[in-house]
Amino acid sequence: MKKRNIAFMVLIMIVLIVSMACNLGKSTSSKDSNEIYTSDEGGFSFQILEDYTVNEVLAGVEMVAPDGIPEVGPGMQLYGGITDQEQTTDELWELVTDPEIGLFEFEKPKKYKVDGVNGLIAEFKGEQAGEAVKGKIFLVMVKPDQQFFMFGIAPEDDWKRFVSIYDKVLDTVKFHDAIPIDYSYEEPEEWTFEEDPESVDSVPTEVIVEGTGIISQWASSAMASTEYSSNDWSAMQATGEPDVIECGSNPKAWSPAYVDTEEYIELFYDVPVIPTEIVIYQSFNPSQVVEIQLVDTDGEEWLLWYGNPEEVSDCPDMWTHTIELEETFLVNSIVIFVEQSILGLGGVEIDAVELVGYLEGSEVIAPSVVEESSGETGQDSSASSGGSIPTNYSGLMAGPVYQGWINIIVNETKEADLDKIMTIPGKKSTDSWKPRPDHKQTYLYEMPWAKMTGFISVTTDGIVYKKSVSSNTHPTDFELSTVNRSMYEELDAIYKRDKVIPYEVMANMLGSPGFLYEQYYRPDDGKMISQYTWYNADRDRISGYFLDGLLTGMAGLNFIESE
């Protein structure tokens, strides 16, 4: 553990200057009258300007004019606090205006007294967000170990009008003894994770061993790109079992230090496994995950999933990823990337991440343990267990777009026929990522449910090889009374007995063909992978991954309750 020194605290101030950031604090507020704002941690108070927006930022505050833009103003920031080493005002000035930082061009400072304390004040100019700006900064070491800054900025054309407003607020500043803040943190390069289960950096993790050799475990250690503090909202809060019951900001979950940035958290597990499933518990502002990586015991990273964030209605949200590996490897850590600037929801919080998989040396149940029947590839047409598949589509699933969706036959339908079958025009993706060497293009189709997009990928030969819909979306008018825990237990009993569930058996038991969420052809072994989901009126769902129409050990049967 290290303490952030005065240079780091000045760096925080510089970050505020650069961004006029209101994203370093967990809460914001607005004031609309001339009242006094007091910062106990900052050790100062001042009079708030009427109609200005006020945002609390760590041991400070930001005020932005009604017509202002946070990045360029007009606005001002006041920041103060205890330092962990003594310093003079002149030394503080040299540190803030260090030419190597090179943010602005400062005039020669002048002495200026605020609340009876002599400080330094100067104007500056520079560029922010591509616009010429001017500003003014006052700084002072109120005590040898207590600093204060007041920074104002405005577009160059507005500066003459705004400078008098800055001076007016500065004259209202009063100082008092600041309350120390614990700025302790662990630098990423100093993170170490001991294999000793009694390491202070790990927490107990319950491991559930099943008869099949599958275990379920929670992370014992974690690190992150940033964390709101070293205790509450730290990366370590995402270890262990979920302990946040209600949606909302909670110190028992990991939260990045910023609310509009791309961040990541890496979670470490005590027992390496051949993964079959991970479950991400997002307890606040969910749906902002953009990438998930598995890290094997050799340190190699494997991309499990990536995509654009899609807003979901469930919070807390339990997001399950079932894993079907093309080659087996042992995983002992997971990296989750979030992008918080796209949806504008605010900071995401992750409560826990569960890793499920086979122990090393266990017999992995693969599709080869069941007899495969012949048949053409397509929508699970190779599965055969007797009985027909229900065709009782209802609501929008009976409409032309979804019916077109299920009639797009993977490994058969031609690129030229897509619009005709889907009954609506598609758009070409602008994504340059090639998920496989023979990938040519992905076409986007607006599905009949809100925020749901269908993605259909074709090869360089012009043949469909994959189709999927937007993550975290579902058909809102799909409501089955058969989707409940009792039915799940019946299905699970069949799986445990037979080690397989044919798709048509599951569809008939649920009384519906289900919603086809994803389907793709795997050229290395000729397997067709399909994911179907069935929903009830409460948005609970039963889902299954099928290999050539057969739900088997390395695929997944899931029952997920919405609350």
CA dist 279 and 354 (Å) reads: 5
β-strand partners of 46: 37
Separation of first and last alpha carbons in the chain: 38
Spatial neighbors of 429 by CB under 8 A, at least 6 apart, are: 441, 442, 443, 444, 455
- Strand 104-106 versus strand 53-57 pairing type: unpaired
Token representation of residue 313: 């209605």
How many helices and strands (H and E) does the chain possess? 7, 30
CA dist 286 and 260 (Å) reads: 14
Report the 10 Å Cβ neighbour count for 494.
18
- Position 84 scores a pLDDT of 65
- Position 368 scores a pLDDT of 32
Strands (DSSP E) contained in 297-422 are 301-306, 317-322, 331-339, 349-359
Q: Among 35, 80, 82, which Cα is nearest to 54's?
A: 35
**Region of residue 387 (phi > 0: left; psi between -120 and 50: alpha; otherwise: beta):** left
Q: What are phi and psi of 493, to 5 degrees?
A: -65, -40
CA dist 71 and 75 (Å) reads: 9
DSSP string computed for 23-71: -SSS------SS-EEEETTTTEEEEPPTT-EEEEETTEEEEEEEEEETT
- Position 343 scores a pLDDT of 83
The series of mean pLDDT values per 10 residues for the chain, 563 residues long, is: 34 43 37 70 88 70 78 84 82 75 78 94 81 90 91 90 92 89 42 37 49 79 90 92 88 90 93 90 88 89 80 79 77 92 87 89 47 33 52 91 95 94 90 77 92 92 92 87 92 82 91 92 81 91 87 69 69
Domain 6-175 architecture:
3-Layer(aba) Sandwich (3.40)
Q: Among 189, 106, 119, which Cα is nearest to 150's?
A: 119
- Position 256 scores a pLDDT of 92
**Region of residue 42 (phi > 0: left; psi between -120 and 50: alpha; otherwise: beta):** alpha
Q: Flag whether the pTM goes above 0.85.
A: no
254 DSSP 8-state letter: B
Identity of residue 420: K
Q: Among 398, 301, 316, which Cα is nearest to 352's?
A: 316
Specify the DSSP element, H or E, that contains 162. helix 159-170
CA dist 122 and 36 (Å) reads: 25
- Position 301 scores a pLDDT of 85
Under a CB-based contact definition with an 8 Å cutoff, are residues 201 and 220 in contact? no
What is the rounded (10 degree) CA torsion for 467, 472, 475, 477? 180
- Position 261 scores a pLDDT of 87
Token representation of residue 164: 């008098």
Q: Does domain 371-560 have CATH number 3.10.450?
A: yes
The CATH class given to the 188-359 domain equals mainly beta
Strands across the sheet with 44-47, in order? 36-39, 44-47, 174-175
Q: Among 408, 415, 423, 410, which Cα is nearest to 440's?
A: 415
Q: Among 121, 119, 122, 123, which Cα is nearest to 141's?
A: 119
Q: Among 221, 219, 220, 217, which Cα is nearest to 186's?
A: 221
Under a CB-based contact definition with an 8 Å cutoff, are residues 314 and 297 in contact? no
Under a CB-based contact definition with an 8 Å cutoff, are residues 97 and 126 in contact? no
Token representation of residue 259: 């609310």
Residue spans of the domains in the chain: they are: 6-175, 188-359, 371-560
Under a CB-based contact definition with an 8 Å cutoff, are residues 519 and 468 in contact? yes
